[in-house]
Amino acid sequence: MVSALAEKDEAQALAWINSHPDDPHLDSALTVMVRCWEITQPAEAAKLIGRMSKTGRVKEAPELILTWTRLDPAAAQRFVDHTFAGSPEDRKAVEAEVAHLETYARDRQRP
């Protein structure tokens, strides 16, 4: 639902998300918008990740962090510091996944 809306009108997709805060598929809907905004509006994407469940944040934050670090490393670090301040275990898991994604990207670039 949100995916189709986001392709046509991101504002409508976000309105749907905002009007369904208790939807059992909220993390999936937020993920669609995060993917739409992670390059062009990473700060807004970060706010959406902040609205996700704990599991959703840990799952979706690494890709945003990786992308955002290339654009604005200080802002990406502030996001990590703020989002995972109360959960060292989650922070460690997210940082490990970011490192994994960096290695994967580097390995794919090698001839």
Mean pLDDT of 53-60: 96
User: What sign for the dihedral angle of Cα 39, 44, 50, 51?
Assistant: negative
| CB 80, CB 94: distance < 8 Å | yes
Q: pLDDT averaged over the chain?
A: 92
The pLDDT of residue 10 is 85
User: What sign for the dihedral angle of Cα 70, 74, 75, 79?
Assistant: positive
Whether 71 shows a pLDDT value over 90: the answer reads yes
Q: What is the pTM of this model?
A: 0.86
Segment 32-50, tens digit of pLDDT: 999 999 999 999 999 999 9
Overall domain count for the chain: 1
Range of the domain at 17: 2-109
What is the separation, in whole angstroms, between the first and last Cα of the chain? 40
